[in-house]
Amino acid sequence: MYALQLERAGYAVMSTRDGEAALRAARTFQPSAIVIEVRLAGLDGMDTLRRLKEDPSTSSIPVIVLTASVFQLTEGEVKAAGAAALLWKPYYPADLLTALQQFNRAPDTNATT
C-alpha cells in the first residue's frame, strides 16, 4: 500500500517479499532510504534492520520502520536497533513522505520496501 503512495509522490520503489530479499536488494542497489515492516516472512523487520546496520555497505542507509505492534515494541528499542524513524499503523501517507523528506530523500530517488 505505501509503495503506491511513494510512487505517486515521485519515488522510485523496489519491493521485496521478506527480510533476506530486502538485505540482498539493499546491498545490490544501495537505495537512498528503506521503509520496512516489522512483520516480515522469514527474517523479521527488526532482525533485518539490525543486519542492515551491522553491514558496512548498508549501515548508512536511513531505515523507516512501520509497525502495528504497539504493545511489542517501543520507539526506544527501534531507534536503538538503528532505525531513523518509526511510524505506527495506521499512519497518514503524509507522515511517511515527511519522514523521507526529513532525511533529504526527495522524490526521484530509490526507496526499498
- Cα dihedral value 30, 36, 38, 39, nearest 10: -100
CA distances from 16 to 9, 70, 75, 80, 112 (A): 20, 24, 24, 24, 8
How do the domains of the chain map onto residue ranges?
2-104
Q: Choose the weakest-confidence range: 68-72, 79-83, 88-92.
A: 68-72
Amino acid at 84: A
Please give the average per-residue pLDDT across 9-20, as a whole number.
90
pLDDT reported for residue 106: 56
H helices of the chain, where?
2-8, 19-29, 45-54, 75-80, 93-102
13 and 6 Cβ atoms separated by less than 8 Å? yes
pLDDT reported for residue 54: 97
The 10s digit of each residue's pLDDT in 26-52 is 999 999 999 999 888 888 899 999 999
Please give the average per-residue pLDDT across 90-108, as a whole number.
78
pLDDT at 53 over 90: yes
CATH class (in words) of the domain with range 2-104: alpha beta
